[in-house]
Amino acid sequence: MRLALVHTRYQLLETVRVPIAVVGSAFFPTVSMLFFVVPFSGDDPVAATYATASMVTFAVMSTNIFQYGIGVAEDRAQPWDPYLRTLPAGPAPRFAGRITAGLTMTLLSLIPVVVVAAVATEARVSAPAFLAALGTVVVVAVPFTLMGLAIGYALPSKAATVVAQVVFFPLAFGGGLLFPPDSSPGFITAIAPYLPTRGAVELMWAAVGDFRINPTSLVMLGVWVVVLAAVAGWAYRRDEGRRFH
């Protein structure tokens, strides 16, 4: 436990020392807030709140896909990783440290989105709704963490970078994150429930407003979690087998 915290601290330290990595994951959602949400729905409290929740989901997704997908793949290529395995601790503290640091970075990446929403739009949430949203962030981080880990453990770092960049935008767009809850284009309404981003964003919307979740989206989110966990677990074990068996 103490060691997990030590690993968390140094993971964060390494991340913070390269500030562009911190800025990068928050960049796209924040810019989307400024360019699309603020001018088009900033004056409408309900629309602005939903849009903010969408951008928060977006940030959670992209941060996790990138930090795990690329971070894990890069670490696997470094001899530092096997060296740590020779220290008198198993792989668990490092893994726990990675997840804790990842969650911390996720929450940090949300700050600019929330600040823009509070300062430049009419988006408002009550204190209980804010706490519910915070809890929901942790829940929706799960599928995207697993997706990032699956990418990071399955692919070499160059391929992982490309795949992370290729998947994140279609997931956001296809899941309807860039549209208000009930006015997505027809084809997106058709495919969205089958993407993990939809279930995630609907949970966020329900946390901050009066939104009724589509059961299909929620069931599919559960399916995604199971499938991504299986893929991540498979990739992790395969990597362990290749490097440490």
What minimum distance in Å lies between the beta carbon of 205 and other proteins? 38
Dist. CA 135–CA 190, nearest whole Å: 28
Q: For other proteins, which is the closer residue by CB, 78 or 216?
A: 78
Question: Which is closer to other proteins, CB of 94 or CB of 198?
Answer: 94
d(CA 216, CA 140): 16
Residue 57 and residue 136 in contact, taking contact as beta carbons nearer than 8 Å: no
- What is the four-CA torsion angle of 104, 108, 110, 111, rounded to 10 degrees? 140
Specify the residue, 44 or 74, whose C-beta has the smaller distance to other proteins: 74
Closer residue to other proteins in complex, CB, 3/120: 3
Residue pair 47/180 in contact by the 8 Å Cβ criterion: yes
Tokens 């309404």, located at residue: 189
Give the nearest distance from C-beta 10 to other proteins in angstroms: 5
Torsion-angle region of 230 (φ positive above 0: left; ψ -120 to 50: alpha; else: beta): alpha
Q: Please, what is the minimum distance in Å from the beta carbon of residue 243 to other proteins? A: 8
Tokens of 151: 């990418």
Q: Is the dihedral of CA 177, 179, 184, 185 positive or negative?
A: negative
We find the least distance from the C-beta atom of residue 217 to other proteins, in angstroms, to be 40
Minimum Å gap between C-beta 79 and other proteins is 3
Residues forming the site for other proteins (CB under 8 A): 2-3, 6, 10, 13-14, 17-18, 78-83, 85-90, 244-245
CB 220 within 8 A of CB 203: no
Q: What is the DSSP-derived secondary structure letter of residue 214?
A: P
Question: Which is closer to other proteins, CB of 70 or CB of 137?
Answer: 70
For other proteins, the closer CB: 11 or 217? 11
Q: How far is the CB of 242 from other proteins (least distance, A)?
A: 10
